[in-house]
Amino acid sequence: MRKPINPVVEKLKPSGIRKFFDLANTMQGVISLGVGEPDFDTPWHICENAIHSMSTGKTHYTANRGLLELRQAICEFHKVRYHQNYDPEKETLVTVGGSEAIDLAMRALVTPGDEVIVLDPNYVAYAPTIELAGGIPVPIELKEEHEFKLMPDVLQHAITDKTKAMIINYPSNPTGGVMTKEDYEKIVPIIKESGIYVISDEIYAELSFDQDFASLAQFDEVKDQILVINGFSKAFAMTGWRLGYVLSNAEISSAMTKIHQYVIMSAPTQAQYAAIEALRHGLEDVLTMKKDYMNRRNLLVNRLNRMGLKTNMPHGTFYVFPNIQKTGLTSDEFCEKLLDEEKVACVPGNAFGEHGEGFIRISYAYSIDHIKEACDRIERFLSNLTK
Ligand code: PMP
């Protein structure tokens, strides 16, 4: 008889997003509001820099931490755009997407039995990467009435002697919630006092609407305890290039670099050249795409509220998180019925944690026409429900 595989892996649940879209893919005429990636193609001047790098023989490994020129561009961008200060040589590591950075952060920090606080609802990769590192995810509930922000008393309550870290994501996938500087000011003393690490997934930083992006790494008194994760997928429409990075104190950065050096060696070289161009000359493209996202958000939130699905105005990302409790259906029932009757695919809120129940996630990384058509169908679905 064969030996069993790792039970931790065996117990991991498949992503609730994938499960649903596998079903949608088997049907004809489905209109999706499900994906978590920009509908825009990568701006061409960024692609060109990658092509140029290949045509000039830049087809080899880079330094384990990534090209120094890229790390310098990353640190410069973070200083100017986000008022965060990091050293390109000792505190910066280029990774295979933000995804690798999340995994490295967990593996570098967590020892078996450590608790890691996750905000619920949250991005689907957090709990599995904690479990794979031997840690225990401890979900804390985010509430709609608080616009899905992290509240200081809730955090204080969740911290125990076993808490090693917390992972947060603002602007947030799936809720679109953001934290302001004033919101963070209230939790900084708790983080300082407890000594826990905070992995701050800031992959949607550039997609902050209506207000300035804020980060815990802007507070000197806790900066040493913060790991900032970011990448090129969302802001620059570069999901397929698989490039991200993590900024942290030098000790944690070299710990993560050790793991990265053994399992990855170095992130893809062509993508790194593309990323240098993105950071140096791509901001205008980002701002153009952002304007489009904001127009779509306004249309979508307006329509959803008008048809009776209570929806907070999100201040970041390209997701909205409508409350569907009024329909009397669970998140799964709502999405299944909507797919079955009107062929619109959304993601049930409980795919992002148990406190996502009663909500659905809608992505607006689609054209205005696509969004309008989907809204018409959802409206018809709701009026048939109440008949
Ligand atoms: N964090 C969040 C919150 C995300 O939504 C995603 C992508 N869906 C990632 C990290 C991973 O992005 P990537 O690996 O493409 O950088």
Q: Is 177 in the pocket of ligand 1 (CB under 6 A)?
A: no
pLDDT (0 to 100) of residue 369: 95
Give the number of other Cβ atoms within 10 Å of residue 132's Cβ.
16
Distance CA(13)–CA(127), nearest Å, equals 10
> What torsion, rounded to 10 degrees, do the Cα atoms 191, 192, 197, 200 define?
60
Nearest C-alpha to atom 12 of ligand 1 is from which residue? Answer: 98
pLDDT (0 to 100) of residue 386: 79
Beta bridge partners, 347, equal: 361
Q: Is 239 in the pocket of ligand 1 (CB under 6 A)?
A: yes
Report which ligand 1 atom has the smallest distance to the Cα of 204. Answer: 3
H-state helical runs in the chain: 7-11, 16-24, 44-55, 68-82, 97-109, 126-132, 152-158, 181-194, 250-263, 269-281, 283-306, 331-342, 368-385
pLDDT (0 to 100) of residue 22: 78
Distance CA(316)–CA(303), nearest Å, equals 18
Distance CA(260)–CA(258), nearest Å, equals 6
Q: Is 175 in the pocket of ligand 1 (CB under 6 A)?
A: no
Phi-psi region of 308 (alpha: psi -120 to 50; beta: other; left: phi over 0): left
**Which one-letter amino acid corresponds to residue 58?**
K
Report which ligand 1 atom has the smallest distance to the Cα of 99. Answer: 14
Tokens in use for 300? 């979508």
Taking the centre of ligand 1 as the mean of its atom positions, its distance from the CA of residue 205, in whole angstroms, is: 12
Distance CA(382)–CA(304), nearest Å, equals 11
What residues have CB less than 8 Å from 114, skipping those under 6 apart? 134, 135, 136, 162, 163, 164, 165
Q: How far is CA 262 from the centre of its chain?
A: 25
DSSP string, 57-72: T--S---TT--HHHHH
Based on its alpha-carbon atoms, the radius of gyration of the chain, rounded to whole angstroms, reads: 21
End-to-end CA distance of the chain: 57
Distance CA(269)–CA(363), nearest Å, equals 31
Report which ligand 1 atom has the smallest distance to the Cα of 242. Answer: 15
**Which one-letter amino acid corresponds to residue 371?**
I
What residues have CB less than 8 Å from 22, skipping those under 6 apart? none
Cβ burial of 386 (10 Å; 0-12, 13-18, 19+) is exposed
Q: Which residues, given as ranges, of the chain have pLDDT below 50?
A: none
Q: Is 231 in the pocket of ligand 1 (CB under 6 A)?
A: yes
Closest CA to 364 of 319, 317, 313, 329: 319
pLDDT (0 to 100) of residue 15: 80
Q: Is 34 in the pocket of ligand 1 (CB under 6 A)?
A: no
Nearest C-alpha to atom 7 of ligand 1 is from which residue? Answer: 36
Give the number of other Cβ atoms within 10 Å of residue 3's Cβ.
4
Taking the centre of ligand 1 as the mean of its atom positions, its distance from the CA of residue 126, in whole angstroms, is: 10
Domains of the chain in start order, with CATH, are 7-41+284-385 (3.90.1150.10), 44-282 (3.40.640.10)
Pocket perturbation via mutation, ligand 1, pick of 119, 201, 203 by most ligand atoms within 8 A of CB: 203
Distance CA(243)–CA(281), nearest Å, equals 17
Q: Is 244 in the pocket of ligand 1 (CB under 6 A)?
A: yes
Q: Is 97 in the pocket of ligand 1 (CB under 6 A)?
A: yes
Taking the centre of ligand 1 as the mean of its atom positions, its distance from the CA of residue 242, in whole angstroms, is: 10
Q: Is 200 in the pocket of ligand 1 (CB under 6 A)?
A: no
> What torsion, rounded to 10 degrees, do the Cα atoms 278, 281, 286, 287 define?
170
